[in-house]
Structure 1
C-alpha cells in the first residue's frame, strides 16, 4: 500500500537488534532489493539516524547531500529515504518504518501523513504484542508458581482439602488420600460422594462442624473419626474456613487435617491405665478401710470383752459375798446388786431397788433419786409389778400409766415430782415360789442418745438369776437353821 501510495521502490519494517538491523517485513514489489530476514549492521544505513535520534528522517537526494552521499544505501542506488522510528509502549526502539526510492523523491505531506498513520497502527500492534508477551510471561510465571504450589500442596505432610458445605469434594492433596488409606487422589474422589454419610463415623459431628463454621466462619482443632478405605477408622484433627459462596447458596470449605490416630490411641491407653490405677487405688482404699474397720471391731471387741470381764469379776464378787450369810443381809445384797448393775450396764443413768412389804413398795437404795423422799410416798406394789414378765424394757409413758392406775392422786403427784423423765426403763421382779420379793429398775435419761442393748439385757438377766440364787440360798439357810433348832 505504501509503495503504491508513495510511488517508492520499497517499503520496510525493520527491527533493531543491536548492533544489527533486521528486515522484519518487506513489500513484495519487484523493485524491492530487500527480503524478509535480511540482517546487516546498522552503521552506515539511513535507519541508523532514525534509531539514534528517535525521530523522522527524510532524504530527497542523497547523492547531492554531503552527509549521505557516501552511505551504504546511497552507494546501493537508493537515492531517497523517508523513515520513522517504531517504539515499544515503554519508549524503547523496536525498529523503523521506512521507504526508499532510487530516484530523487520529494515526499508529499499526504505520504508523510500515511506513514505516520502506519507508524501509529504498527505501534498499537506493538502495544498489543507487548501486552500479549507480558500476559504470556505472566501466565508462565503463574503456571510455574501454580505448578510449584500444586507440588508443594501434593507433597505437604498434612492433608489439604477443598470441599463444599453440602458434602462434595472439590480437590484434595496426596497426603489427604494417604491419610484415608487410598493410593491415589482419583481413587479417593470416587469413594466419597457424600462426606456426612461416607466420611464421618458419627454423622452428628459433621452437623456440629457445619454449625460451628456457620457461626464463626472458621473451625480450629475440630476432631472426628473418619471412615477410610476398607472401613478403617482414623482420628482426624481439622482446621477449616469458609472460602466463597456459590450460586446455589452452598459455600466452599478450605482447610487442612492431621492424622491424630496414634495420639488418640495413646490417650486411650493412658485413660485405661488411669482407670485401672483408680480402680486399684479404690480397691486398696476399700481393703484399707476394711482392715481399719476390722481393727476398730477388734478394738471394740477387746473393749467389750474387757468390760465383760470386769462385769464378771464384779458379779463373781457379788456371788461370793452372798454365800456368806453373815456378810450380807437382804437389804445389803439388794444395795450391792443395784450398785453393780448400774456400773456394769453402761446405758443406765439412774436406778432404784426396793422390796415388796405388806402390799407396799419399800425403797432400799437409789442412784440419782432422793431416797428419803421416795420412802415417804405410799406406792401400792401393783404400781411396780411386771405383769407380763419378770424382766422387761418399757418406756416412760407406760410407767406413768401404771403408776396413775394404782396410786391415789396425792401420792402420784409426789412421785411424779421426784421422778425424772426417762427414755427407757429396764425392770426386774424377783419372785420366789410365786411370791414377789423385790424389784430393781435401771433408767435411761430422756436426753440420752443410748438404748438398752441385747448384751445389757443378757447381763441384767444374769443379775436376775444371781438375785434368785441369793433368795434360794437364803430360804435354804433359814430351813437349815429351823431344822437345827428343832433338833
Structure 2
C-alpha cells in the first residue's frame, strides 16, 4: 500500500527535519553560487574537521578547496549540465589535512535562469583514492628490479620484505622480520625515522629518503614511497616501495662539488685580478718612499715592515690565482673556508 508522505511529514516541527538530516551519514549542503555556505548538516561539518555546523554558517566553501582552480572546474561542470554526479574533488580539512570527496550537486536557478543556490551531498573517499594510487604505483614498480617492497606495522616494525630488498641489504629475510626498520638505519639519521612514521600516520602517505646500513656495514640512501593501508578507517599497516638511490645521490654530490670548485676558481681568478693592480701600485710607491728614506730615519723600519707585509699579500694573490683543486679547512664556529695553500 502506498503511503502519502504528506500525512507522515505534515505535522513535524522544523527541528525534526534538521535532526533527520544530521543523522544521515553523508554530508548535505546548500551554498550560494559564490560559495557562501547557507546550510550544512552535522556530517558535512565533521568531514571537514569542524565541531558543529554552526561554525560553517556563512563560511566560504572556497576555503575547503586545496586549489581554487578546482572550484572553478566544479562550477564549469555544474553549469554545463546543471548537475554533477559523484565528482571526485581534492579538498582539505579545517587544519589543511588533504582529503578527497565525491560530490553530487545540482544548480538551483531563479526565474531569470540565474544560479542562486547549489544543493548537494558529498562523502569522504580519501581511503579509496589513496588505495588506488598505491595500487597504481606498486603495479608500475613491481617488475622493476631496482625497486623493492616492504611492509611495516604502524610503529615501523618490518612485517615483510621481498627478495630484492634482502639482496640489496645482504641480509636473509628472517633477519628483518618483526624487527624495527629503525634498527637498520644509520645512527646519524635515526632521529628522522619517527618523523617519517608520524607523517604517514597523519597524512596517509610519505615520500623521502632513509639511510640504511647493509650486512657489510655499507650505507645505502633509499628513496621510499610509503602509503597507509587502512581497515575500517584505522591504520592497519604501511606498504612501501623503495629503491637504492645511492649512486644518484653520489653523482649529485659530485656534481655539486664540481660546481662548488668551479665557483671557487671563478672567484679566485676575479679576486687575484682585482688585487694585482692596486698591489703593483702600492709596491712601486713603497719602493719610491724607501729610496728617499735613510736607514737612520725613524720611519724607515716601519716602511720596511709594511713592504714585507705587502709582499706576503702578493704571495697570497699568486696562490689564489693558482688554485687548481678544492680543499677546505676548519675555521671558527664550525665554518669551513678554502685552504689556499693546499688548493694551489
TM-score above 0.5, yes or no: no
Which interval holds the TM-score relative to the shorter structure? 0.3 to 0.5
Larger RCO (CA within 8 A; separation ≥ 6): 2
Normalised by the size of structure 2, how large is the TM-score?
Answer: 0.38
